[in-house]
Structure 1
């Protein structure tokens, strides 16, 4: 055999998509695993022409599932972000949109048995240690993808998947404010560096001469902005204790502006070398937390809710995303949990093939 076949399920999770694997069907060591995932997605070509990636960062994501040895969790979710063109794999972050498909995929793989009309799947995000309770629709004990739930950035409707995130503060850096400050200034740009589900350097759009309401195409075409933003992001990564982040997708970058379509606050999110077409689930939690925290760069951009739980509506490039934030606000902001509604859909199952010289299989 010149190729190795690996069982997989190809799913849309939230506003991302990619292959979902049983971790037991992949190589154990990360170096070989990275080469397998590069081959699977076709990283190294702008169109991912020799793999199943879609030529965008939101379509070169990978989920790997396994039974959890955690007393609380049912399933471990190990995430990998594969670059489109650079043949790089980042195992540091997690992805909340891809996580949207973990509950259904776990049922499809037989890792979780459906129970009743709604099945709770307890998920441990291996990359960050976060715990997520997913409620998956299983009417009559049968998994369904059909439903009336709609999310911005995805056409049509599907069955709702309710996600409740816990233990996400300091998920990557160990601290809510990794620099120890509510605000830092880098290259003349005022930032809030925050780590809730995803470490993000957050700035006001106006400080970059932007409105914060630009389209994805407008932002991606503004390479002067990206060059300036990347220089700030790299320095922010150092201040956040993350070392040299030149080749890492974290910390991400976010911009805030006053809402104009009835939301709580306007946002733009970067992955970080391109503009996100909508909003990351993890990024939404961090940006919502920043919006709710007095003293951050969000000050003056919104009418800040003071009662918990608060429904924070983030306007993004494709519409809105709502984050239900349970928090305490005594001497400082303290996050208890964050809830979001997502959808997912199974697209393909079968085997994906990689050259045997990369991996001969188990």
Structure 2
């Protein structure tokens, strides 16, 4: 007989994940990783994860673990696991901003936190174990439970839902310890196949290598599949990513760069683009066009951490992002393949450089299914 493990299946923003209560998981981390791979259907050489709950894309191949926190400044702990599609890899090296939107509602549904029946909004303080950082999630509640129905729409998700407000506190240096890992707002990377390439590298919520799309023969208005299908271009992007990782001190060589981080974002000035749903977006609807790579593919929208890192970068004078976006306030409207994503960032400038006070945005979430996932009992003996 197969073993059963209690779980829920959630959409968070433009991602989906199997979500576990940490109390239900085995104490053996290696066993947990084997279970996660089995449940998601990885590795799959066909890239579809048909034998599991994954969807064949990095944004649809995720695990979330939520547990009560022992910290005074947090109510729950959130651990994110990126499950590779084609390889037997479970990566804990990054956070997922989109799935962070479901952590508070899950914790409330599971009874980890409580609100009164007459309360209209819940505030959950969440500690990200991946990045050792705190964020706050605010969402509507009714009769002590999360509300999912609402009129808020996010690019890349059909229909509407209740707004979840996310505020990431002190997001700078999530992986490297520095908001500007190299100490510079502008660097020159040496990349095989290009030569010298100007780049801005910022670490806020997650580290991102930003480069001008025009320097790579692109506009940052292309649809993801068109970019993904260009194998030569994707190989070039991976070399840019690896070069950036080494420059930021995240790896000692190209061979030791993790899949999860850093991300790469090709950016361009605001110009008209067509989204995946066929809608057209005029140049005045956004401040910047961004196409971001995550786990080897261009994201169908943008990772939420990538969006917030972009918003932070836009507030730092001299970065490629700031030069192209020329923001008039702390708000940044990002043109993505699925539409325009609004973000905010509060960045102060001190003697030692920029300090990211917070970064935030808005999402929706939905608890799609609950019950148990199954795995072979033989895994317990391995």
TM bucket normalised to smaller:
over 0.9
User: Which range moved further: 200-209 or 29-38?
Assistant: 29-38
The residue that corresponds to 2:369 in the other structure is 348
Query: What's the secondary structure of 2:320's corresponding residue?
Result: coil
Matched, 1:335 2:343: no
Distance in 1 between residues matched to 2:349 and 2:270, nearest whole Å: 23
- The answer to whether the 8 A contact 2:42-2:88 is kept is yes
Post-superposition offset of 1:178: 1.1
Post-superposition offset of 1:272: 3.6
Post-superposition offset of 1:278: 0.3
Post-superposition offset of 1:247: 4.3
Distance in 1 between residues matched to 2:268 and 2:349, nearest whole Å: 23
- The answer to whether the 8 A contact 1:4-1:359 is kept is no
The residue that corresponds to 1:198 in the other structure is 206
**Aligned residue-pair number:** 357
The residue that corresponds to 1:148 in the other structure is 151
Q: How does 1:121-270 map to 2 (within 5 A)?
A: 121-186=124-189, 187=191, 188-243=196-251, 244-260=255-271, 261-262=283-284, 263-270=286-293
Task: Flag structure 1 segments of 5+ consecutive residues without an equivalent.
Answer: none
Distance in 2 between residues matched to 1:360 and 1:12, nearest whole Å: 33
Post-superposition offset of 1:225: 1.2
Q: How does 1:1-362 map to 2 (within 5 A)?
A: 1=1, 3-45=2-44, 46-115=47-116, 116-186=119-189, 187=191, 188-243=196-251, 244-260=255-271, 261-262=283-284, 263-305=286-328, 307=329, 310-329=330-349, 332-359=353-380
Distance in 2 between residues matched to 1:181 and 1:75, nearest whole Å: 35
1:61-95 superposed Cα distances (whole Å, 9 cap, x missing partner): 11101000110110000110001111211011010
Distance in 2 between residues matched to 1:184 and 1:139, nearest whole Å: 50
Distance in 2 between residues matched to 1:73 and 1:233, nearest whole Å: 33
Distance in 1 between residues matched to 2:256 and 2:298, nearest whole Å: 18
Distance in 1 between residues matched to 2:338 and 2:354, nearest whole Å: 29
Distance in 2 between residues matched to 1:23 and 1:68, nearest whole Å: 11
- The answer to whether the 8 A contact 1:10-1:348 is kept is yes
Cα 1:317–1:120 change in 2 (3 A) is same
- The answer to whether the 8 A contact 2:313-2:322 is kept is no
RMSD: 1.6
Distance in 2 between residues matched to 1:359 and 1:172, nearest whole Å: 33
Distance in 2 between residues matched to 1:257 and 1:291, nearest whole Å: 13
Distance in 2 between residues matched to 1:296 and 1:272, nearest whole Å: 24
Distance in 2 between residues matched to 1:253 and 1:229, nearest whole Å: 7
- The answer to whether the 8 A contact 1:21-1:64 is kept is yes
